[in-house]
Amino acid sequence: MNRNKVLVGILAIILVFILLAGCGKPAPAATEVEILESPADESNSKDMEESESQAETSGVPSPISGIYTEPENISRRPIAVMLDNQSKARPQAGLDQAEIVYEALAEGGITRYMAIFLMNQPESIGPVRSARPYFIEKALEYDALYVHVGGSPQAFIDLKELKVADIDAMSRDGSIFWRKNHKKAPHNMYTSTNALRKAAQNSGYKAEGDFSSFAFNIEDTDINGSQVSSIEIPYFKDYHPSFQYNVEDKKYDRYINGKPHLDEISQIHLQAKNIIIQKCDTEIIDSVGRLEMTVTGTGTGYFITNGKMTEITWEKKARKGRTKYYDENGKEIRLNPGVTWVELIPMKLENVFQ
């Protein structure tokens, strides 16, 4: 047989084996490692990192938190829910999905929360508690559905006069609010966002909100200010919330009386990207100990993010108007995208930073 023909035959056989290998089993791991280390793959790796970065900002930013989400998640009305913080009510459900949480004194030194929901739809929120006038004024800033169980005399007056989109458990059935057996009444009233939107529809409330949002940084941004790693707010006895800066996450972990503040359902340790401390004139107005807290007008406070704190001033020109926060140069502050906690504190509370 001709030598050239033999060589051609051998080459043809080798080519067949190569083609069969390409259609059969995957290449050995050594080949994969070589591919990953090639210059072309480094370029692909960079492309993947850019794609992941773009994924974090895909969709549209929520006007409540600046976090990116699908458009349908923010094309609805915000929901503001009053949450019980009496010791027997803890832990609360749904706080891990709130985009903004307000905390303020009610009476007897006990604080209460108001959680604002828009992009998330928690299936369990509670325990729900009663309304207070200063919380109503904050809910109006978001044109929110205002959710509660009863309220103070002044709160009922304000709900009517200010034409609030009111969802009160006292006038709703068991499909909207329900009590759970693991806690004792009145600290066991729960609801869900789906149930609340059903109630809003039944009441003929408009489906979308009309409000101006906070200004947010496009990217995570540090502020000029003092280093602050620990914040404790001594409201009263066993109502000492605190925040500890988590350097790795660049967020503040939240604690209650020195213990991690966890969500009841998810067991997630609650965190804040932004913390606003707003000082308010506060006084007791009746024998029960109910408070009048001035949140319309002007005042001072602090803004904390990324481990730093700066002094601010605040202004709210009307009860339905948005509270604006300004830095020392008189410029409105920009929040970093993420969850914000707003602590409304009496003027006398000081020494909250450590």
CA distances, 247 to each of 21, 46, 231, 251 (Å)? 50, 26, 15, 7
Q: Give residues with Cβ within 8 angstroms of 191, minimum separation 6.
A: 81, 125, 126, 128, 147, 169, 176, 177, 178
| Residues 228 and 304 sit within 8 Å (Cβ to Cβ) | yes
Q: How far is CA 249 from the centre of its chain?
A: 15
Task: Tell me the two tokens of residue 221.
Answer: 């941004």
pLDDT given at position 14: 37
| Residues 266 and 115 sit within 8 Å (Cβ to Cβ) | no
pLDDT given at position 312: 98
Distance separating alpha carbons of residues 207 and 217, to the nearest angstrom? 28
Q: Coil, strand or helix: which one is 124?
A: coil
Q: Coil, strand or helix: which one is 161?
A: helix
Residue 200's Cβ-count burial label (10 Å; 0-12, 13-18, 19+) is buried
Q: How many CA atoms lie within 13 A of 201 on its CB side?
A: 8
Matching residue, tokens 């800066």:
245
Task: Tell me the two tokens of residue 3.
Answer: 């030598």
Give the residue among 186, 195, 197 at the shortest CA–CA distance from 130.
186
pLDDT given at position 156: 97
Q: Give residues with Cβ within 8 angstroms of 4, minimum separation 6.
A: none
Distance separating alpha carbons of residues 83 and 166, to the nearest angstrom? 15
| Residues 223 and 343 sit within 8 Å (Cβ to Cβ) | no
Q: Could you list the pLDDT tens digit for every one of the 354 residues in the chain?
A: 444 443 334 334 333 333 334 444 343 333 232 222 333 344 444 443 444 444 466 899 999 999 999 999 999 999 999 999 999 999 999 999 999 999 999 988 899 999 999 999 999 999 999 999 999 999 999 999 999 999 999 999 999 999 999 999 999 999 999 999 999 999 999 999 999 999 999 999 999 999 998 999 999 999 999 999 999 999 988 899 999 999 999 999 999 999 999 999 999 999 999 999 999 999 988 888 889 999 999 999 999 999 999 999 999 999 999 999 999 999 999 999 999 999 999 988 766 776
Q: Coil, strand or helix: which one is 234?
A: coil
pLDDT given at position 238: 84
Matching residue, tokens 């999905």:
97
Task: Tell me the two tokens of residue 275.
Answer: 């913390």
Matching residue, tokens 């300004």:
326
Amino acid at 220: D
Task: Tell me the two tokens of residue 235.
Answer: 């409201």
Strand partners, 275: 304, 341
pTM of the model: 0.84
CA distances, 36 to each of 26, 50, 81, 122, 277 (Å)? 15, 18, 51, 42, 50
